[in-house]
Amino acid sequence: MNFHFDRQRANELLKKGTGRENTEFRDGQEEAIEGLVSAPRRMLIVQRTGWGKSMVYFVAAKLLREKGMGVALLVSPLLALMRNQMEAANRMGLKAQTIHSGNKDQWDEVKEAVKNQEVDILLISPERLANEEFKAEVLSEISDAVSLLIVDEAHCISDWGHDFRPHYRLITRLIQQLPQNTRLLATTATANDRVTSDLQEILGPELMLMRGPLNRQGLALETIRMDNAAHRLAWLDAALHRLEGNGIIYVLTQRDAKNVSSWLTMRGHHVAAYTSDSGDIRPELEQALLKNRYKALVATVALGMGFDKPDLSFVLHYQMPGSVIAYYQQVGRAGRGIDQARGVLLSGVEDDEIHDHFIGGAFPTRTEVEKVFDVLSEAEDGLTRYQILRRVNVRAGRLEKVLQLLSLESPAPIVKENHRYFLTATEFSDEFWERSDRLTQLRWSELEEMKEYMALTFGDHMEFLMNKLDSKGSSKDALVVQAPLAIELDGISILAAEKHLRRTWKTFEPRKQWPHSVHFEQFDESGKISIEKRAQLGRALCYYGDTFWGKLVRVGKYEDGRFSDELVGAMKEMLRETFDDEFPKWLTCVPSGRHPELVPDFAGRLAEALEIPFHPIIEAAREKPVQKIMQNSAYQVRNLDGAFEVKSEVPEGPVFLFDDMVDSGWTMTVLSYALIENGCNAVHPISLALAQGA
């Protein structure tokens, strides 16, 4: 259905949405809105962050609703982005609702409002499109009446994109379900020519492309290679004292977010960590930064697409992102509504190792897929996820990846029905492996481009980004008038940072339940582990391989064959300073078949340093495969069943149970149970290191 475009009403909505009477549409915004409202068409907008893509679809959705059209459907990838979009929609008078994993208690209410035409725009995550309940109870009800389908961050559809999201592939099926004349708007700020071409093929014929320059005026970019983590921490400390305004400090891992945040807090800066683990307090953290109550948030990519603070004055990176386009998107949070802002990228020695892990684990292996196919082929009634884990020695997270990716193939070789997975008659195509190999190679090439970016001199960075993004227009319009952010590192600050890195001690929670549907024969136990038989809170010196102690642990275990006295001193300091309960009276250790002397040798020296006796009373009862090759809880626990026994009388008082490495925590759980069964009143697990995934 075609409509006359009411330019005056569009301008009224713009002023209402922005809250500013003197505001005007930016170049291209009004044209895009008119194109969507006047006639059914499909449009792709590629515009820089801060240009106002959301204003286009909110004004268009409101105008269409005022002309009697149905609900607009907005597919959005992140909860943080949805929250911002909901607020913006409500400011314009749009009745906005959302259905996602975090508001299940509101689903029924939202569904009823949608059916009753009481919702103007419905926001969903792409994962909802795989949910049978949503498709049956919501999508089927409104599909014929959808006035506008909006796909935000549309680069996630393309597997050539830097942030490919498998569930975004379901959007192509959604498009096929909607009437041919449904209006469609896809938006992104990070699509180069390759991604744009892919989107034009995926989103259908006659896709209208509106593409603007991605250059960011006034955003001064620079790179600093600084391998030493303590030097980077000292640099961040000094930088926050010098930089005006508020910003974001990006890190690659949740551990680094907490580590950097605790360091900067200790140095007197008002900051907080923001990760996917921040859970329910994420909206509170976002609002605090928006209102300048924090100098900065130390964030993973969980704070990314859609977070909009126009006066954000800096974005710093503690480590190097995996691609130029991902970096552009993150650093583009800064300087949207102010004349000058900074983006400084630091890079450390650990970057390659972290990216090796991310890239190498992005897709399942052929072996993992074959194992899943094998067990499902023998199960006519299908298998639950837990049942598959009992039969296949793969990590739970890896199994989740296999099941998700294969069920999203079209046609899919695996389907999920009522929490059970079934094989279909579909022959698994080699196209899956060709695509995974191609994308893995693409990620490696993107990482090499990022290393090229790191090596640039000041003033060349924006032009490099624009070339990689295939942006039209000159990057020389950046008008960078700021000099590099020269900071002299202070020796005292470096020493303080080194001390901080040495004291980032870890705790690990005891296991509270045996794996689902697993019976532990040795103790005749299943289900919950009674509180009386559980280990106490565990303590570890570091993460394996991390700066300082983590590297020393690796050298001691695999090169020297003996852990150093320096590690003994560090463990002693940690235990004496952090132990809140009654200090244990003695120490024992986990026996090892592969390194029979390594752990007892260190345990004996540690006991001597703590001035408590060492009693190696636990012995192997049978030979077993190496525990670390067991990939999930079901296999790990079965491998430990009957593997150890307490050979001597248990001394009185609480005990330290030592092992050099803790991964799943099941060895500590089983041996703590055994010690308590034999009369020990409290077991305190301790370890040199936690495995990276622990």
How crowded is residue 644: how many other Cβ atoms within 10 Å of its Cβ? 20
Q: What is the mean pLDDT of each run of 10 residues along the chain (694 residues)?
A: 89 88 91 94 89 90 93 80 73 85 81 88 86 81 86 83 74 83 90 86 84 86 94 97 96 94 97 91 92 97 79 96 91 89 94 91 92 94 94 93 89 90 90 90 94 93 91 57 84 95 92 93 93 95 89 93 96 93 93 88 97 96 89 94 93 96 95 96 96 68
Contact status, residue 295 vs residue 244, Cβ threshold 8 Å? no
Identify which of 410, 406, 418 has the alpha carbon closest to the alpha carbon of residue 176.
410
C-alpha distances (whole Å) from 460 to each of 282, 318, 402, 405, 464 are 35, 21, 42, 39, 6
Q: How many separate helices (H) and strands (E) can be counted in the chain?
A: 25, 22
pTM: 0.88
Q: Determine if the peptide bond prior to 413 is cis (ω within 30°).
A: no
Calpha distance 296→258 (Å, rounded):
13
- Assigned token pair, 559: 């090169």
- Assigned token pair, 596: 């029979």
C-alpha distances (whole Å) from 684 to each of 507, 511, 513, 587, 633 are 11, 13, 18, 9, 21
Please give the pLDDT value at position 306.
Answer: 63
Contact status, residue 313 vs residue 335, Cβ threshold 8 Å? yes
How crowded is residue 527: how many other Cβ atoms within 10 Å of its Cβ? 11
Instruction: Give the amino acid at 427.
Output: E
Calpha distance 320→232 (Å, rounded):
12
Strand partners, 75: 124, 151
Identify which of 645, 630, 642, 641 has the alpha carbon closest to the alpha carbon of residue 691.
630
Calpha distance 125→116 (Å, rounded):
22
Environment class of 679 (CB within 10 Å of its CB; exposed 0-12, middle 13-18, buried 19+): exposed
User: What letter would DSSP give residue 441?
Assistant: H
Calpha distance 330→248 (Å, rounded):
9
Contact status, residue 270 vs residue 220, Cβ threshold 8 Å? no
Compute the residue count for the chain: 694
Domains defined along the chain, listed by start: 7-211 (3.40.50.300), 219-356+442-490 (3.40.50.300), 363-435 (1.10.10.10), 505-690 (3.40.50.2020)
Coil, helix or strand for 49? coil
What crossing angle do the helices spanning 324-331 and 431-454 adopt, rounded to 10°? 60
Helix (H) or strand (E) holding 685: strand 683-690
How crowded is residue 395: how many other Cβ atoms within 10 Å of its Cβ? 18
Please give the pLDDT value at position 480.
Answer: 55
- Assigned token pair, 169: 């592939």
Contact status, residue 155 vs residue 131, Cβ threshold 8 Å? no
Residue for token pair 């209410």: 109
Between CA 236 and CA 242, with CA 240 as vertex, the angle to 5 degrees is: 115
| 538-543/506-508 β-pairing | antiparallel
Identify which of 349, 296, 354 has the alpha carbon closest to the alpha carbon of residue 321.
354
Please give the pLDDT value at position 143.
Answer: 80
Calpha distance 413→203 (Å, rounded):
24
438 contacts: CB under 8 Å, gap ≥ 6: none
Instruction: Give the amino acid at 639.
Output: N
Identify which of 408, 394, 407 has the alpha carbon closest to the alpha carbon of residue 365.
394
Please give the pLDDT value at position 557.
Answer: 93
Identify the sign of the CA torsion 415, 421, 422, 428: positive
